[in-house]
Amino acid sequence: MLTYKDRLYCWAIARLLPSEQWMIVARFRSCSDADGHFQFLRQTIPHFKFEVVFDRSGDSHRLSATCRPSNYVSSAL
């Protein structure tokens, strides 16, 4: 069960790992905050693949690659 605080931070930035797993690198309260940080990461670390996701799974570290399309919000790569 997610705590109240965890439910507030549903927007996340996930990074694709070589093992085809998605790792959550940051969580945000709003989509615009997540998108702004996503733009910064994309410019400063261009060789990694990042995605903005809406995640209520409760797993604060990993998303499976198979669930990514349903959680996908934007990437603008």
Structure tokens at 70: 């349903």
Angle ∠(58,48,75) on CA atoms, nearest 5: 65
pLDDT for res 74: 46
Rounded Cα gap, residues 14 and 8, in angstroms: 17
| pLDDT number for residue 3 | 76
Domain ranges of the chain: 4-54
Convert the pLDDT of each residue in 19-37 to its tens digit: 989 899 999 999 999 999 9
* Tens of pLDDT, residue by residue, the chain (77 residues): 667 777 788 899 999 999 989 899 999 999 999 999 999 999 999 999 999 999 877 565 555 443 443 444 444 43
**Contact present, 28 and 50 (Cβ < 8 Å):** no
CA distances from 74 to 2, 3, 4, 9 (A): 25, 26, 26, 17
For residues 73 and 77, give the distance between their C-alpha atoms in angstroms, rounded to a whole number.
12
